[in-house]
Amino acid sequence: MAKPAGLPNLRLFAVICVLAVTAVGALLYPRLAASPDAAVEPMPALLATTPIRPGEPLLPLPDSLPVDPAKVALGRLLFNDPRLSRDDSLACAGCHDLQRGGADGMPVSRGVDGKKGGINAPTVLNAAFNFRQFWDGRAATLEEQVEGPVHNPLEMAADWDQVLAKLQADKELRSRFASAYPAGLTAATVRHAIAEYERSLLTPSRFDRWLRGDDTALSDEEKAGYRLFKRHGCSSCHQGVNVGGNLFQRFGVMDNYFANKKALTAADMGRFNVTGRDEDRHVFKVPTLRNVALTAPYFHDAATSSLDEAVALMGRYQLGVELPARDVTLIVTFLQSLNGDVRP
């Protein structure tokens, strides 16, 4: 089918609009709660003192965020503690393996009793920089996100009464919480400790060194891939400090992705499941591309395990172009420069 006249100009206009609307939001760091009961306040704009390349749509990831080490240590314990699940069989780390890019490498995760989830697990790495949590953005903070898996019958299938009863029986854990939190061991402090740990899971990469002025940090091929990433319009949605994660977007801007699926699932409805508005059908939080080379399969429906194919599909459905094979290869080469390790 022939494309309507003027479609390339429409695509360019859309890219410019998205960049304009999100320019301010992209400069903000994640919101951090000073305590589990405190109001959530904006992070300071640490970028003001960080040298960056002018005019770039991507921003460097900091080496760390201001977190409480004692609470991070508690959160690390709980993140790996299967007592958060109904039958002590599943920890947060079961679906968010730091050695697998903060995900689990499965199309959908398995919960208690082997039940399958309904959507591909997103990475927990650098999640502090997402403006919302979950694919549909139903949680505004990391603390709110912790609630979801604990109560979901397809995941941990528990509730706070069950979880706290088990944790309160641990004398050492009770003592550590009493030292770290005036309120002691509560549902709110458990949520906060896990969120505090997740805020420590940052993965600065070679690309961040390049953004700060180190020209030797990237190869010529990676730089060429980044230029194509911007030229084709990928950075209209994947921008800011997390190379995504700071806006919602329809999956299928330039072509109907879901018309080509054999059957639709509830997860395919995206943000519509949260708002009930027709305009939010198939709208999702744009995912971060940091460590994307480690987090296959891709998209909310795990449609492909090939990063090359994922890039090509994005070109077709989001940008309205069939990307040349050479461009896909170079863009993937650039994306691999976004891999980083969690620092102690």
Residue 146: which region, alpha, beta or left (left: phi > 0; alpha: psi -120 to 50)?
A: alpha
Element (H, E) at 328: helix 325-336
The predicted structure's pLDDT at residue 53: 85
The predicted structure's pLDDT at residue 13: 42
DSSP tag of 315: I
The partner residues of 250 in beta bridges, in order of sequence, read: 283
DSSP 124-193: -TTGGG-SSBSTT--BSSHHHHHHHHHH-TTTT---HHHHHHHHHT-HHHHHHHHHH-TT-S-HHHHHHH
The predicted structure's pLDDT at residue 50: 57
The predicted structure's pLDDT at residue 52: 78
Check: CB of residue 169 under 8 Å from CB of residue 83. no
Question: Can you tell me the distance from the alpha carbon of 204 to that of 220, in angstroms, rounded to the nearest whole number?
Answer: 20
The predicted structure's pLDDT at residue 48: 44
Catalytic residues: 155
The predicted structure's pLDDT at residue 262: 85
The pTM assigned to this predicted structure is 0.87
The predicted structure's pLDDT at residue 29: 41
- For the chain (344 residues), the mean pLDDT of every run of 10, in chain order, is 41 44 40 39 44 87 94 98 97 95 96 95 97 96 96 96 97 98 97 97 97 96 98 96 96 94 94 97 98 97 97 97 98 98 80
Q: Give the chain's domains with CATH numbers.
A: 7-65+203-336 (1.10.760.10), 69-199 (1.10.760.10)
DSSP tag of 121: P
> In one letter, which amino acid is 70?
A
